Amino acid sequence: MMIRFGTSGWRGVMGEEFTFHNVRVVVQAIANHLRKTFGDGPIAVVVGYDTRFLSDRYALEAAKLLARNGIQVFLSDRDAPSQALACQVIKRKCQGGINFTASFNPPRYNGLKFNVETGAPALPEVTDAIEEEVRRLMPGFSTLAVRARDESISRIDLQADYLADLQGKIDFGVMRKAGLRVAADLLYGTGREYLDEILEENGVEVEGIHGYIDPYFGGVSPSCTEENLAELKTHVVQTKCHVGLATDADGDRFGIIDEKGGFVHPNIILALLLDYLVSVKGWRGGVARSITTTHLLDRIARKYDLPLTKTKVGFKYMADLYLKGRIMFGGEESACIAVKDHLPEKDGIFAGLLVAEMIAATGRSLGTLRADLFKEYGAMTSGQRTLPLTPERAKRLRALIQNPPSKLGRRKVVAAETIDGLKLDFEEDRWVVLRLSGTEPLIRCYAEAETREDVEAILKKGLEAVK
């Protein structure tokens, strides 16, 4: 069995690929990699986990194994968001962080993310080295449970430092002054007692739902999709809140509902936030987006003469640009942002709070902000569809990447990019992307155009090309 790190860590179905045996192999491979990288000096690692079934047990087993390797372990005292773990890696000057989470994947999945000493997700050169070590270790690796070395394992609170870090980065005063009312859907994940608590502590009225642990996540994937936020939509309208904020299982992605109970696509939120930071707060600097993310960011960057960088899908590439000082804002359509002077990790809690600040500071509803954005930059609509991955479809996608078409249906291709799958640009800023998912056995198809009808037509043609 091949264990591979995808777009965001290693993920697998529990009981099939994701087993205690395989977790031990991967953790031992990480320990060996750390020892090879940092030599015989002291090494410390933060270990965290989400609310999924057995995540806490995987984390404890990892802590024991790291301790047996002479590594100091700071083990989270409860489930916690991914970005809170990154905050601790930075604060404690650790050499890495291991987080047990499958993020927004269905409940039957679990996963392991590895963050490097900067707090950022590991880049491919690191995960490739870990994968190679896994292949070396796998034959004959002992499956015995690991005995603890308690003196090398410290239980720590991840909440206090993370919330304190947020405190100086969000203007809660403007929310209080505006009398903002927020509905928060914690989706049974790690955002509970984080997102809701910081709002309450700062005197902002918040209505929370699903703020308790359920490893089945209410019977749905713990993802901030429109379908999964149906209860939040209703709650916003019934309680007359100004905005609904949601976070996924590990708190690093966001979902936003407007004052009328409408779902606001992450692409629109990214554009609104960039425009707010630049036009209202006066920020300047580089901007980055993944190839599957809205061209509205390009239009805003052009207006303010901001350098734009395009990346592969995966926040690790955004974090790398952030750490190199090349960007002050980066975004992915999968509800991820990078913002200067914050953490080099996805943060759905921070993103949601920034949206609330924007509404309060501008004195405009999300609906009005969106209308003003479209008036200034033009209306754009996004969509995504998936196909189960088969060998035949993978072969057809590879063929398209190697020889991009000059037309898709009746649409003329004006440019093609192959940095991550295949992206075809059409006239009038319309485009389609076909790529392999880095988290599930799927082919993902993304599109953007002015109208929903155009998006659906482009998605249909895109999927037909690989069917």
Beta-carbon count within 10 A of 36 CB: 10
Q: Is 56 helix (H, G, I), strand (E, B) or coil?
A: helix
Pick the closest to residue 335 from 421, 265, 409 (CA basis).
Answer: 265
Contact 404, 424 (CB under 8 A): yes
Strand partners, 431: 425, 448
The proportion of the chain whose per-residue pLDDT surpasses 90, expressed as a percent, equals: 93
Q: How confident is the model over 154-201, as pLDDT tens digits?
A: 999 999 999 999 999 999 999 999 999 999 999 999 999 999 999 999
Question: For residues 206 and 196, what is the distance between their CA atoms, to the nearest angstrom?
Answer: 7
How close are the terminal C-alpha atoms of the chain, in Å? 27
pLDDT value, residue 143: 65
Least confident of 63-77, 429-443, 449-463: 429-443
Whose tokens are 């109208």? That residue is 451
Same CATH fold, 381-464 and 265-346?
Answer: no
Q: Is 276 helix (H, G, I), strand (E, B) or coil?
A: helix
Burial 411-445 (b: 16+ CB within 10 A, else e): bebeeeeeebbbbbbbeebbbbbbbbbbbbebbbb
Question: For residues 85 and 192, what is the distance between their CA atoms, to the nearest angstrom?
Answer: 15
Query: Which amino acid is present at 50?
Result: D
Least confident of 14-28, 69-83, 139-153, 375-389: 139-153
Instruction: Find the mean pLDDT for residues 381-402.
Output: 94
Q: Which residue has the higher pLDDT, 439 or 400?
A: 400
Instruction: Find the mean pLDDT for residues 437-458.
Output: 93
The proportion of the chain whose per-residue pLDDT surpasses 70, expressed as a percent, equals: 98
Contact 450, 395 (CB under 8 A): no
Distances (CA, A) of 94 to 18, 39, 72, 89, 98: 26, 14, 9, 5, 11
Burial category of 35 from C-beta neighbours within 10 Å (exposed 0-12, middle 13-18, buried 19 and up): middle
- pLDDT at residue 1 tops 90: no
Instruction: Find the mean pLDDT for residues 421-446.
Output: 93
Confidence label for 7 from pLDDT (cuts 50, 70 and 90): confident
Confidence label for 101 from pLDDT (cuts 50, 70 and 90): very high
- pLDDT at residue 439 tops 90: no
Q: How is the chain split into domains, by residue range?
A: 10-158, 179-264, 265-346, 381-464
Strand partners, 207: 183
Least confident of 28-32, 385-389, 429-433, 439-443: 439-443
Query: Which amino acid is present at 132?
Result: E
pLDDT value, residue 416: 96
CA dihedral 236, 239, 240, 241 (to 10 degrees): -50
Q: How confident is the model over 37-66, as pLDDT tens digits?
A: 999 899 999 999 999 999 999 999 999 999
Q: Which residue has the higher pLDDT, 145 or 277?
A: 277
Identify the CATH class of 10-158: alpha beta
Query: Which amino acid is present at 318?
Result: M
Query: Which amino acid is present at 37?
Result: T
Q: What is the CATH number of domain 179-264?
A: 3.40.120.10
Q: Is the dihedral of CA 325, 330, 335, 341 positive or negative?
A: positive
The token pair that represents 287 in the structure block? 């901007």
Q: How many residues does the chain have?
A: 467
Q: How confident is the model over 12-27, as pLDDT tens digits?
A: 999 999 999 999 999 9
Instruction: Find the mean pLDDT for residues 254-267.
Output: 98
Instruction: Find the mean pLDDT for residues 311-331.
Output: 95
pLDDT value, residue 204: 98
Residues in Cβ contact with 302 at an 8 Å cutoff, skipping those fewer than 6 apart: 308
Q: What is the CATH number of domain 265-346?
A: 3.40.120.10
- pLDDT at residue 146 tops 90: no
pLDDT value, residue 430: 96
Confidence label for 467 from pLDDT (cuts 50, 70 and 90): confident
Fold entry, domain 381-464: TATA-Binding Protein (3.30.310)
Question: For residues 202 and 176, what is the distance between their CA atoms, to the nearest angstrom?
Answer: 8
Pick the closest to residue 372 from 386, 382, 384, 358 (CA basis).
Answer: 358
Q: What is the mean pLDDT of the chain?
A: 95
